[in-house]
């Protein structure tokens, strides 16, 4: 559901009043992210306070050190392309598509649960800069080709990641498409979804056997070549662009929200 600028302007004063001193010093663009998530003052207030409480309880996960220019390990993990968002890759309704390739998440190369989650938070933070992510929700496509539970998974990651996203961030998951799932993944997913997914998110998870199954959802040519599309991602260019934005202060990041709730 697209929230218009007029709606935001009408709701913002009441939202600030509801938050009281918690809203002091918070830029309007961040308050609007919560109103785009739910154009309801009470719901947005509850979610904003929950986000601040989570952020305060997890200071090392989502703070101003979450920058490509400040964290070499974050940069290394971003370059491993576990999750990416090719520019312009959206569904027919405008929902941005986050592409996951868990085969790239080599837990034997020294990366940690916290490091992987920080990498994912950085990507999510970039997607939440786009109003359409809040308006239309995020669509996730996981290409599970080559997935190995012993190499690519650690239950600590979904435990930390999903406990943050669900109930705290102003994010809506529209659908999760699981492509090329090997047999071994089904047992892993059953445990994962039972422990960490709200019922409504679990219901939005769809296993597909081929990219053509998404023909009614999106223009599949917009997907990356290695998952069956025609697009290419210049990750180095994306990294340099975000480094520049970090340095010149134009990065719109929720890490700047002061968790005083």
**pLDDT tens for the chain, residues 1 to 261:** 678 889 999 999 999 999 999 999 999 999 999 999 999 999 999 999 999 999 999 989 999 999 999 999 999 999 999 999 988 999 999 999 999 999 999 999 999 999 999 999 999 999 999 989 988 999 999 999 999 999 999 989 999 999 899 999 999 999 999 999 999 898 888 888 888 888 999 999 999 999 999 999 999 999 999 999 999 999 999 999 999 999 999 999 999 998 765
pLDDT confidence of residue 2? 78
pLDDT of residue 260: 66
Beta 97-100 vs 83-84: how paired, if at all?
A: antiparallel
Closest residue by Cα to residue 177 from 151, 205, 150: 205
* Edge-to-edge strand ranges of the sheet holding 205-208: 83-84, 97-100, 138-143, 173-179, 205-208
SS3 88: coil
Burial class (CB in 10 A: 0-12, 13-18, 19+), 50: middle
Tokens of 185: 């993944």
* Sign of the CA dihedral running 51, 44, 170, 149: positive
- Residue 250 is predicted with a pLDDT of 96
Helix 5-19 with 28-37: angle, nearest 10 deg: 100
At residue 176, the 3 state secondary structure works out as: strand
Q: What is the pLDDT of residue 230?
A: 93
Residue 83: strand pairing partners? 100
Closest by alpha carbon to 200, among 223, 175, 182, 179? 175
What's the CA gap between 246 and 257, in Å, rounded? 16
* pTM assigned to the model: 0.93
């Amino acid at each position: 559901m697209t929230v218009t600028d007029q709606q935001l302007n009408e709701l913002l004063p009441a939202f600030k009043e509801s938050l009281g001193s918690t809203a002091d010093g918070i830029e309007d663009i961040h308050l609007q992210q919560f109103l785009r998530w739910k154009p309801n003052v009470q719901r947005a207030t509850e979610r904003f306070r929950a986000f601040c409480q989570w952020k305060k309880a997890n200071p090392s996960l989502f703070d101003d050190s979450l920058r490509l220019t400040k964290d070499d390990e974050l940069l290394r993990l971003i370059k491993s392309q576990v999750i990416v968002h090719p520019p312009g890759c959206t569904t027919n309704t405008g929902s941005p598509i986050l592409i996951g390739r868990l085969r790239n998440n080599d837990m034997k190369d020294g990366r940690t649960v916290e490091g992987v989650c920080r990498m994912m938070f950085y990507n999510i933070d970039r997607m939440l800069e786009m109003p359409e992510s809040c308006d239309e929700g995020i669509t996730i496509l996981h290409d599970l080709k080559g997935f190995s539970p012993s190499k690519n998974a650690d239950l600590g990651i979904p435990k930390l990641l999903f406990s943050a996203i669900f109930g705290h961030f102003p994010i809506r998951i529209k659908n999760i498409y699981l492509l090329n799932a090997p047999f071994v993944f089904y047992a892993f997913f059953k445990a994962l979804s039972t422990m960490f997914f709200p019922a409504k998110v679990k219901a939005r998870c769809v296993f597909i056997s081929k990219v053509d199954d998404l023909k009614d959802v999106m223009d599949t040519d917009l997907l990356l070549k290695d998952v069956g599309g025609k697009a290419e991602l210049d990750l180095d260019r994306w990294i340099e662009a975000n480094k520049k934005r970090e340095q010149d202060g134009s990065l719109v990041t929720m890490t700047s929200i002061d968790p005083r709730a």
